[in-house]
Structure 1
Amino acid sequence: MNIYQHIDFTLLEPTTTESEIIDLCVEAKNFGFNSICINSCYVSIAKKLLKFTDVKVSTVIGYPLGAMATASKVYEAQKALEDGADEINMVINLGYLKSEKYISMLQDISKVKQAIGTTPLVVIIEISELNKNEIIKACELCLESKVDFIKTSTGFSKNGATLTAVKMIKKTLKDQAKIIASGGIEDFETAIKYVEVGADRVASSYISGLKKKSQQLRNKAIFEKYMENKKNNDLISEPQGQIAYRKESR
């Protein structure tokens, strides 16, 4: 088993810098990870850095709570696609599920799926906040919404993935959608166990042995070259010789 191809390498801390994103991309290329999962403000950067590689750029919307308006999630998803995202991760509205507002939850997921078309949709159900029946119900609603993946956790709640939950989700999905185990997975041995019980992919922000190598892979020249290109791209020459700065918000 090539475990690297099953790993989504995540970096979702609110303090994440551009330099750290560049390190992540270099590491993902060198190890051949399936994808990186990052906050949407860095999607365009990562997409450029991972051009001509097989590493996908995945981003999160409605993150980490999932409680914002559906229209906001739709806008986030569409903007992420414009910036080059290969995959969208959305968090379910846990309040809707707890309130048994199943139609509202179904619409929340379905409208995002409709907005992104054929782009894969990953739905994060946050298992640590749910009981067994709620996990099953969440999976059933995801299937009805035609999602592509169900992800166990955001990594920001009480606990992450469990082998028991992945087995339960696998049984409920009956291969109609795939599974991403996420949260608390810190080494290859644990990652392999999740794949063996039914997870198609494993999301982790830290796999033992890679953090040290990541520091070794820091490349000052890459960062300086990127910043130089970024500065040049942000300057647009007008016919009169004036210089106009591209607006950052559209």
Structure 2
Amino acid sequence: MSPSNEHWTPLVTAKIAEVLADVPFSVPPSEFSSITSPDSKFALAIDHTLLKPDATPAQIDELCDQAIRYKFKSCCVNGTNVTQVSRRLQGSGSLTCAVIGFPLGAGATAAKAFEAKDAVQNGAQEIDMVLNIGALKNGNYALVHADILAVVEAAGTTVKVILETVFLSDEEKIAASFLAAEAGATFVKTCTGFSGGGATAADVLLMRKSVAYKPAVKVKASAGIRSFEKCLEMFKSGAERIGTSSGAAIVESVQVAAESY
């Protein structure tokens, strides 16, 4: 059972003050921050993504085939496509990732937990959930924590919590990151890509600083990442996973440029 709002409010307030204090912060070293080309190590940071509502089975198969070809970390899809992706990726080394409460995060907690459990039963190995943004902005930290905790417990696997940073102040980004870490999330993630805006180096750094007290919690940068240079910017700011629908294009464009040099 999640603690009450009376429990969380002073803890969140203290975390915000700590993170925003004018204290030097060095981004912890990452295996991806020194990458110089979209090589096999780069591929291990990529969640190859197709979340458009009009995605067809043929397009989902193509997504999977690209992930297999380039050895991307995962394919990230909507729940209806999880079984297809799980079967297509079987034995490839690439994981099946499902989004939960996507893209609004405003569904009932019980529904999100059921959705996560169902996705895992259908083959999902990672879960990307959208937090309850309205509850966060209203200061209902108990509900935000309980919502994430329910999905973490139902999934029993890697859970990435999408903050939808485009809607949040810095204080709210810190609060969300802290609550996600406290609820057992494996990653905090920037955006869905469905609400405008996108990942920024400043947001990634702020989120990394917010969860630094729990070294096992990582940051995923997502939305608007369409070039290798943008990926590098995210890595150097503290991201250890990238969500993008442009993974294959990034690899292919760099390969073509190298071959034509």
TM range (shorter): 0.7 to 0.9
Which residue number in structure 1 is paired with residue 238 of structure 2?
Answer: 198
Give yes or no for the alignment of 1:83 onto 2:122.
yes
Instruction: Output the CA distance in 2 between the equivalents of 1:200 and 1:39.
Output: 22
Q: Which residue of 2 aligns with 1:167?
A: 205
C-alpha distance in structure 1 between counterparts of 2:248 and 2:110, whole Å: 39
Q: Which runs of 4+ in 1 moved over 2 A?
A: 207-213
Report what 1:225 is aligned to: none
Secondary structure in 2 matching 1:195:
helix
Go from structure 1 to structure 2 and tell me whether the alpha carbon gap of 1:194 and 1:212 turns closer, same or farther (over 3 Å shift): closer
Task: Return the structure number with greater relative CO, CA threshold 8 A, min gap 6.
Answer: 2
Cross-structure match for 1:40: 79
| Structure 2 match to 1:30 | 69
Find the counterpart in structure 2 of residue 147 from structure 1: 185
1:59 match: 98
Q: 1:185, 1:207 within 8 Å by CA — same for their partners in 2? A: no
The Cα shift of 1:212 comes to 7.7
Unaligned runs of 5+ in 2: 1-34, 36-40, 254-261
Paired residue for 1:92?
A: 131
Determine the C-alpha separation between the residues in 2 that align with 1:173 and 1:211: 30
Following superposition, the deviation at residue 134 of structure 1 comes to 0.3
| Secondary structure, counterpart of 2:81 in structure 1 | helix
One-letter identity of the residue aligned with 1:122: K
Q: Counterpart of 2:196 in 1: which secondary structure?
A: coil
Which residue number in structure 2 is paired with residue 12 of structure 1?
51
For 2:145, give the aligned amino acid. L
The aligned counterpart of 2:217 is: 177
* Pairwise CA distance, 1:210: 5.3
Query: Could you say what secondary structure the match of 1:179 adopts?
Result: strand
Larger Rg: 1
Instruction: Give the residue type in structure 1 aligned to 2:87.
Output: K
CA distance in 2, matches of 1:152, 1:137: 13
Amino acid aligned to 2:67: A
Aligned residue pairs total: 212
Aligned residue for 2:11?
none
CA RMSD of aligned residues (A): 1.5
- Code of the aligned partner of 1:59: A
Residue 101 of structure 1, aligned match among 111, 136, 140 = 140
Q: Which moved more, 1:84-93 or 1:1-10?
A: 1-10
Match of 2:176 in 1: 138
Q: Does 1:129 align with 2:170?
A: no
The normalised TM-score by structure 1 is 0.82
Q: Distance in 1 between matches of 2:84 and 2:92?
A: 14
Deviations along 1:213-234, one digit per CA (max 9) or x if unpaired, are: 9xxxxxxxxxxxxxxxxxxxxx
Q: Which amino acid aligns with 1:181?
A: A
Deviation readout 1:124-157 (Å, 9 max, x if unpaired):
0000100000000001111110110111000101
- Kept in 2: contact 1:38–1:60 (CA 8 A): yes
The equivalences for 1:167-246 within 5 A come to 167-174=205-212, 175-207=215-247, 209=249
Instruction: Give the alignment's TM-score, normalised by structure 2.
Output: 0.78
> Percent of counterpart pairs with the same letter?
38
Distance 2:221 2:97 in 1: 15
Contact kept, 8 Å, 1:3 with 1:188, in 2: the verdict is no
Listed one character per residue, the Cα deviations across residues 15-62 of structure 1 (whole Å, up to 9, x for unaligned) are: 000000000111100011111100111111111111111101101010
